[in-house]
């Protein structure tokens, strides 16, 4: 993974080379803190040692109990689904991967109606084992398997914490079970049992994902000028400090669209603390050049755009044409067009003084994805150190969970009472 900060200098908001030089001493101190946390396997910092500690043997043993399934259905939410989804949606496989990470009955019913349940592995993932959406969906999926005459105990893989509902279920039915990594928040578990079971079931080279993570791990140093991940973390932090409160993540590869969704949880849930943070906006190049780019370029000067692309991609030739005004496309390729649009968007933003950062990976394969995931995690941890926020907790998500649980009779929560006291000011169609 390489990072180019050139288009974040002298922009509005913007950095200068002096800013980066001044930041580098803070990056060195932050790296020392990060390295110490990694060495001591400290809560949260342990995420950055996963390329070395992830239990590949356990992943292979647990997933090896399933002969090549037609499909893998992951039942999980947030970090328990997005890492695996990023890898599955970026890589080609003849084993289809599906993700139930919401409780929309229409979507759940439609998916279950289509799935070959007898040839599907159900991969239920929850660190806590208490997440309502995940457990509710699992109960629905298990019922559907039973009604289809499928022995769910033969088709279910569990990934969970040491205790809780799923651990008890796995023990009671002798289900293959993987341990979520201790001391690692869910959004940081892509390069672990949590994120790697699905690609393993799909036949992908999970060892290469770990190797990519190790590439990122060995690149960590005490200087942003030697560590692309830290360069990105420091630059995004400094731009936020100067008013870039939105970070539009815009991969120029369909295969990285889910990566932007994974990044959004990582960035928002880690850095949105104490009135601080940087809103991750998900965009896709070239599609959003015909959509959100208008706002990025001509709206409030409160954004940076992170443009991501693989430097190698397949190339689909564009046939010669005599279409009026479009003859120039003939003989080039879709790759040429997409790369030209990437560079044009980059320059368009720069011309308008909008800061943008270029991130490039070699290609969309297991090793590059591992390095990209790791690099963004390291960038996020560094940003959190510089911002002095509690990167590895997410207390603000608990209020809503209690309210929903109270509304369903799952306990007496004052949050549920607050829902009942909603202030109303209805505007109704006459």
| Crossing angle of helices 228-241 and 17-39, rounded to 10° | 120
Output the smallest distance, CB 129 to ligand F6P, in A. Answer: 7
Q: What is each CA distance from 144 to 109, 123, 137, 140, in whole angstroms?
A: 10, 15, 10, 6
Cβ–Cβ < 8 Å for 54, 159: no
Angle formed at CA 90 by CA 86 and CA 96, multiple of 5 degrees: 90
Q: What is each CA distance from 410 to 57, 74, 402, 404, 407, in whole angstroms?
A: 39, 25, 9, 8, 7
Angle formed at CA 149 by CA 147 and CA 153, multiple of 5 degrees: 100
Alpha carbon distance 376, 1 (integer Å): 10
Cβ–Cβ < 8 Å for 20, 224: yes
Cβ–Cβ < 8 Å for 128, 164: yes
Alpha carbon distance 389, 385 (integer Å): 7
- Whether omega for the bond prior to residue 256 falls within 30 degrees of 0, making it cis, is no
> Closest CB to ligand F6P among 189 and 368?
189
Angle formed at CA 33 by CA 380 and CA 274, multiple of 5 degrees: 50
Alpha carbon distance 250, 377 (integer Å): 17
Residue numbers at the binding site for ligand F6P (CB under 6 A): 77-80, 126-128, 131, 134, 185-187, 269, 394, 397
Output the smallest distance, CB 16 to ligand F6P, in A. Answer: 36
Output the smallest distance, CB 339 to ligand F6P, in A. Answer: 34
> Closest CB to ligand F6P among 79 and 370?
79
Closest CA to 120 of 201, 206, 205: 201
> Closest CB to ligand F6P among 126 and 278?
126
Closest CA to 80 of 125, 147, 138, 139: 125
Strand (E) or helix (H) holding 246: strand 246-251
Output the smallest distance, CB 6 to ligand F6P, in A. Answer: 34
Output the smallest distance, CB 142 to ligand F6P, in A. Answer: 17
Q: Could you count the other beta carbons within 10 Å of the beta carbon of residue 326?
A: 10
> Closest CB to ligand F6P among 77 and 217?
77
> Closest CB to ligand F6P among 98 and 342?
98
Alpha carbon distance 308, 304 (integer Å): 13
Cβ–Cβ < 8 Å for 133, 102: yes
Strand (E) or helix (H) holding 420: helix 414-420
Active site residues: 269, 290, 401
Output the smallest distance, CB 46 to ligand F6P, in A. Answer: 15
> Closest CB to ligand F6P among 101 and 339?
101
> Closest CB to ligand F6P among 215 and 415?
415
Closest CA to 366 of 196, 252, 232: 196
**DSSP for residue 247:** E
């Amino acid at each position: 993974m390489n990072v180019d900060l050139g288009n974040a200098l002298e922009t509005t908001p913007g950095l200068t080379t002096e800013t980066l030089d001044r930041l580098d001493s803070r990056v060195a101190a932050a790296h020392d803190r990060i390295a110490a946390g990694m060495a001591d396997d400290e809560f949260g910092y342990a995420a950055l040692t996963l390329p070395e500690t992830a239990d590949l043997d356990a992943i292979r043993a647990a997933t090896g109990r399933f002969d090549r399934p037609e499909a893998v259905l992951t039942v999980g939410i947030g970090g328990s689904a997005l890492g695996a989804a990023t890898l599955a949606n970026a890589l080609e496989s003849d084993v289809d991967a599906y993700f139930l990470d919401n409780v929309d009955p229409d979507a759940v019913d439609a998916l279950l109606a289509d799935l070959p349940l007898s040839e599907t592995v159900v991969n239920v993932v929850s660190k806590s084992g208490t997440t309502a959406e995940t457990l509710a969906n699992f109960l629905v999926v298990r019922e559907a398997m039973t009604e289809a005459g499928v022995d769910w105990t033969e088709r279910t893989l569990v990934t969970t914490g040491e205790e809780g509902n799923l651990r008890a279920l796995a023990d009671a039915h002798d289900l293959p079970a993987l341990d979520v990594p201790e001391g690692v928040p869910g959004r940081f578990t892509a390069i672990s049992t949590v994120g790697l079971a699905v690609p393993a079931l799909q036949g992908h080279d999970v060892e290469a994902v770990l190797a990519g993570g190790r590439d990122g791990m060995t690149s960590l140093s005490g200087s942003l000028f030697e560590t692309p991940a830290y360069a990105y973390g420091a630059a995004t932090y400094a731009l936020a400090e100067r008013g870039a409160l939105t970070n539009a993540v815009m991969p120029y590869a369909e295969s990285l669209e889910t990566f932007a969704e994974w990044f959004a949880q990582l960035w928002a849930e880690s850095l949105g603390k104490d009135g601080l943070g940087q809103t991750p906006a998900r965009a896709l190049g070239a599609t959003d050049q015909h959509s959100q780019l208008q706002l990025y370029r001509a709206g409030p000067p409160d954004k940076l755009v992170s443009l991501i692309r693989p430097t190698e991609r397949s190339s689909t030739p564009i046939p010669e044409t005599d279409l009026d005004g479009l003859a120039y496309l003939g003989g080039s390729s879709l790759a040429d067009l997409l790369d030209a649009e990437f560079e044009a968007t980059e320059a368009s933003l720069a011309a308008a003084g909008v800061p943008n950062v270029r991130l490039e990976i070699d290609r969309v394969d297991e090793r590059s994805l591992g390095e990209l995931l790791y690099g963004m995690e390291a960038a996020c941890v560094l940003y959190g150190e510089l911002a002095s926020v509690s990167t590895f907790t997410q207390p603000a998500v608990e209020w809503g969970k209690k309210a929903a649980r109270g509304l369903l009779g799952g306990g007496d929560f004052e949050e549920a009472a607050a829902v009942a006291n909603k202030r109303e000011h209805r505007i109704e169609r006459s």
